[in-house]
Structure 1
Amino acid sequence: MAHTCKICSPYVSELRKGDEAASDEAASLERVDNVRVTPIRVGGLRASAAVEKLKLWENSRTIRVRFLDGLPEVQAKVRDIAKEWESLANLTLEFVDTGRAEIRISFEEKGFSWSTVGTDALTVGSSEATMNYGWLEPDTSQREYERVVRHEFGHALGMIHEHQNPAALGKIPWDRPKVYAYYAQQGWDEDDVDFNIFQVYDEDSTNHTTFDPTSIMQYAVPDALTVGSFAIGWNTTFSPTDADFMRRQYPKNAPAMTELTVGGPRVTADLASAGEVDAYHFSVPQAATFIMTTEGPTDTVLTLHGPNDRGAVLAWDDDRGRGRNARIVRKLQAGEYWLTVRHKQAASTGSYSVGVKKRN
């Protein structure tokens, strides 16, 4: 059976145009820092910001998983390999036999294996599959089980195909006519190939590292499909970059969302791991102008979300506070608001404090 991975996230493909809004809403309701701001500087001056729209689950969450069909011995192999992700991400995969489940696995679509990406699973009807394994049988090799299950659960936890990483642009010398012909033999049309192979994600739609050809999320690239001599084999194990990346997205011992009291004491915190984003919530009982600040030695980026919508970016700041700190002054209407704090440099850590007060 061909090792095909047919449209691993059908709910963001051309098959479901118009569902992007539902996808973004599900992600922002799950986790406020699924919308992240990164300042862009031109000539040393603040010019604008890039907004990353992620599909990560709430950190430390228990995600329920249920099989819709399949042989018990195949299910057991899938379950055992899927649980390996718990050692990399601060998540629990709880396999249930009945009732609600965020991830629902089928084996019915033969010849194709795919998964929705992260919180896109929440946009799928409760009786429908969010993941499919189309060629796993009792006698399938253990190596192939490991390759495909690790890959599809990577998608389910929010990872994209590595060759569609924005940093992969131009890194693989594809021979496009040969790629189209190769995948046509597996039932793909040119639109399928463009979506699954050639199209990279926008810089502002995903968190990403440098291109990692050893990632479990990387398709094999046969030498026959490239110009010159270039090939990538079928990866079956987690790469060091996979492990580091997912630990940053789902850090252990990360604080839960903290409540801020307007005019109350400042909250002291640490960005203890690279890529960490801390989230805070506060309420505004009536319209007024508020001052939101970070203080301390760390170069922070402060983002204000709301009102009453965790996915809406209302304002952000990089360095209008003291030193390298952030400061937002904004008139706010009555409602619920959230602040997120991240380090300006994704790989850096540091301590800070955050507070909100009403301007006199």
Structure 2
Amino acid sequence: MPDYQYCALPPQREIVLPPGISTQRANAILRGKTKWVNNTTLRYYFFGSTDDGCPPAWRVPDAQAAVVRAAFQTWTGLGIGLHFTEVHERSEAEIRIGFDQSDGSWSYVGRDILQAGANDRTMNFGWDLTANDYGTTTALHEIGHTIGLPHEHQNPYAGIVWDEEKVYAYLGAPPNNWPRDVTFQNVLRKVSAAEVTGSGWDPDSIMEYGFPAGLVKEPVKFHDNGIDPPGTLSDTDKEYVRKWYPPSGSAKPTVLKPFASSAVTLRPGEQVDYTLQPAETRDYKVGTFGDSDMVLVLFESIDGELRQLAADDDSGEDRNALIEAKLFQGHEYVVRARLYYAWNSGNTSVMYW
């Protein structure tokens, strides 16, 4: 196989869990830490598509942007409960895409893209996406990270035993020229077992790198033949994202009344949606109650599209999620609460006041 360039993720946000937390609770938090609430619309923007004053190296040529657009459509075509739409104002975008060929290809993972500055890239492409099919593979892979997927070869269930010095030498040479810490973070380091679903490894995943023969000691067949994924979405990829982001139902969310607590029973990974229609303009609080870890997100409906206003994640903390925001009479808002884990019997509840 050719010497491909590889995705190099930026440093990821560390989750610090309190001492004494149960294994089940910790696993639920780690598994969902990067995932979006379902039915979220993520807007993407190409640097240079307007006169935005970005560094010239960030500007995305039209032909490169076309490959990325097609990759977004491939993920959307799975019918998942995440939606992608292109915008032409940088300030409206959660996903901001550059084409700096001196900076490699990468994306922040899942909700970590929200930690990037409003004028910064959350995704970059570092080589010609139109040269061959690997360009499409690269675009699908980076969008997979934005959805919240880790590198598959870092799956602890893969059973990969690397010839580490050969890996360092291979990735330290052209065309990647990686320092050892980048190679460790993107290849040799195992992600927590809590961050993966199931107990197997998918060598055909779009999140799997291809590697030449000789870098893997075990399993033996990959030592002799290397790892050569097809570069498309595997059946396991499709099953995984449909589980996390099931297709949207047709039922309308329940209307949440002020000062009226709404009790719900959720399993880990499930969410509840509400609409809010404030009777007066003032500052409000929206919160969750109960012995649970939740992520709570508030959206405003603008011209039929939901725009995120605020969010809070109480996972691993001795508190409940709480959002404070000014809401306006006559406007419509949507609240989504997704459960990581509940450690006592009984319902979780949501209220605004």
2-structure distance, mates of 1:279, 1:38: 25
Counterpart residue number, 2:171: 183
Separation in structure 2 between the aligned mates of residue 113 and residue 334 of structure 1, nearest angstrom: 35
Q: Residue 250 of structure 1: CA displacement?
A: 0.8
Instruction: Give the one of 186, 190, 193 matched to 1:196.
Output: 186
Moved more, 94-103 or 60-69: 94-103
Q: Quick check: 1:150–1:216 contact (8 Å CA) kept in 2?
A: yes
1:278 has 2:236 as partner: no
Alignment partner of 1:64: what SS? strand
TM-score, scaled relative to structure 1: 0.65
* Residue 208 of structure 1: how far off its partner (Å): 2.6
1:132 paired residue number: 124
Match of 1:67 among 37, 41, 46: 46
Superposed displacement of residue 130, structure 1: 1.2
Cα offset, 1:58, TM superposition: 2.4
| 1:57 corresponding residue in structure 2 | 36
The equivalent residue for 1:32 is: none
Cα displacement (A) at 1:262: 9.1
Match of 1:303 among 289, 292, 307: 292
- For 2:101 and 2:247, the matched residues in 1 are separated by 36
Cα pair distance change 1:189/1:279, threshold 3 Å:
same
- CA positional deviation for 1:252: 1.6
Alignment map for 1:216-227 (pairs within 5 Å)? 216-227=206-217
Q: What whole-Å deviation, never above 9, does each CA across 1:28-74 have from its counterpart, x for those lacking one?
A: xxxxxxxxx9864xxxxxxx753423211221111111111121122
Residue correspondences, number:
281
Deviation at 1:148, TM superposition (A): 0.7
Which of 105, 111, 124 does residue 97 from structure 2 map onto?
105
Equivalent residue in structure 2 for 1:174, among 162, 173, 181: 162
2-structure distance, mates of 1:187, 1:306: 39
CA distance change for structure 1 residues 191 and 55 in 2, over 3 Å: closer, same or farther? same
Q: Secondary structure at the match of 1:340?
A: strand
1:182-261, aligned counterparts within 5 Å? 182-185=170-173, 186-204=176-194, 206-209=195-198, 210-227=200-217, 228-230=220-222, 231-253=226-248
Which residue identity lines up with residue 167 of structure 1 in the other structure?
Answer: Y
Moved segments of 4+, more than 6 Å: 260-265, 332-336, 341-344
Q: Deviations over 1:168-201 (max 9, x none)?
A: 2xx1232112111111103112222111111011
Paired residue type of 2:339: T
Query: 1:218 deviation in Å?
Result: 0.4
Partners in 2 of 1:212 and 1:201 — Cα distance? Answer: 15
Cα 1:333–1:180 change in 2 (3 A) is closer
**Structure 2, unpaired ranges of 5+:** 48-58, 275-288, 297-310, 324-336
Distance 2:11 2:164 in 1: 25
Percent identity over the alignment is 28
Give the gaps of 5 or more residues in structure 1.
Answer: 13-18, 25-36, 41-47, 282-290, 293-301, 316-331, 345-351
Shift of the 193–278 alpha-carbon distance from structure 1 to 2, 3 Å rule, reads: same
Q: Are 2:6 and 2:105, in contact at CA under 8 Å, matched by a contact in 1?
A: yes
**1:91 is aligned with what amino acid?**
L
1:90 alignment partner, one of 76, 81, 87: 81
SS at match of 2:313: coil
- 1:112 alignment partner AA: G
Q: Provide the secondary structure at the position in 2 that maps to 1:20.
A: coil
1:275-300 CA-to-partner distances (Å, cap 9, x unmatched) read 7423489xxxxxxxxx96xxxxxxxx
> Cα gap change, 1:57/1:232 in structure 2, threshold over 3 Å: closer, same or farther?
same
